[in-house]
A and B are shown apart, each in its own frame.
Chain A
Amino acid sequence: AQTVTQSQPEMSVQEAETVTLSCTYDTSESNYYLFWYKQPPSRQMILVIRQEAYKQQNATENRFSVNFQKAAKSFSLKISDSQLGDTAMYFCAFMTSGTYKYIFGTGTRLKVLA
């Protein structure tokens, strides 16, 4: 069975600093997709960034970037220049090619401190 592990239940970071959230996954498949979702206190979940496993280049979206290590099955999220609005639960998710279903980790609660 595929699993997603987020080993940091809670983290905090000072405003304007950089923080990295970790995610590891387990699969025997070679073709899959990885996502980071953000759930602010208002609860609407939104996509932060996505990565195709066949792409070697790490995805970036403005202040958000990933470090994708396929051999280690690791997919960490780096948030640069943290802002108060980044305070949220962050979920790592995984989808195996052909299934269209998202498997989520347990989440990391991030608090950005002023």
Chain B
Amino acid sequence: DVKVTQSSRYLVKRTGEKVFLECVQDMDHENMFWYRQDPGLGLRLIYFSYDVKMKEKGDIPEGYSVSREKKERFSLILESASTNQTSMYLCASSLGLQENTEAFFGQGTRLTVV
């Protein structure tokens, strides 16, 4: 079975903390994504990586950064967490250079910033 695993399902952090959300895939996929899911807003792309150490900003990158040192791992970093970053975060991966390929998703991390 293909798998995308996010390190935590629930996370509570304090305002101003540096937060790391980890995602690992075991499918040797080139592309990896971080989305944020909010009610009424759907999924919004934060960052996209198409290769190791390669990244591209999505629609809402402000307040976030990412790291991809190894092909299987894609980390989302909240440099200084704020309450408006309370949300569901979804990681996904897909096979590179195949346009009709499906994205495989992790189970999501519900982050609460207090």
Residues of A within 8 A of B (CB): 4, 6, 9, 33, 35, 37, 42-47, 50, 52, 91, 95, 97-98, 100-107
Known contacts A45-B92, A106-B41, then 19 further A-B pairs from the complex at CB < 8 Å, ordered by chain A residue = A9-B40, A35-B102, A42-B107, A45-B90, A45-B105, A47-B102, A47-B103, A50-B100, A52-B100, A97-B99, A100-B31, A100-B48, A100-B96, A101-B45, A101-B58, A102-B103, A104-B42, A104-B43, A106-B42
A9–B31 Cα distance when bound, in Å, is 30
Q: Is B74 an interface residue (CB 8 A)?
A: no
User: Are B100 and A105 in touch, CB under 8 angstroms?
Assistant: no
Q: Roughly how many angstroms separate A47 CA and B95 CA in the complex, as a whole number?
A: 14
Count chain B residues whose beta carbon lies closer than 8 angstroms to a beta carbon of A: 26
Q: Which residues does B use to contact A, with CB under 8 Å? A: 31, 33, 35, 40-45, 48, 50, 58, 88, 90, 92, 94, 96-97, 99-100, 102-103, 105-108
Q: List 23 A-B contacts (CB under 8 A).
A: A6-B42, A33-B99, A42-B107, A43-B107, A44-B105, A44-B106, A44-B107, A45-B103, A45-B105, A52-B100, A91-B42, A97-B99, A100-B31, A100-B97, A100-B99, A101-B48, A101-B58, A102-B103, A104-B42, A104-B44, A106-B41, A106-B42, A107-B42
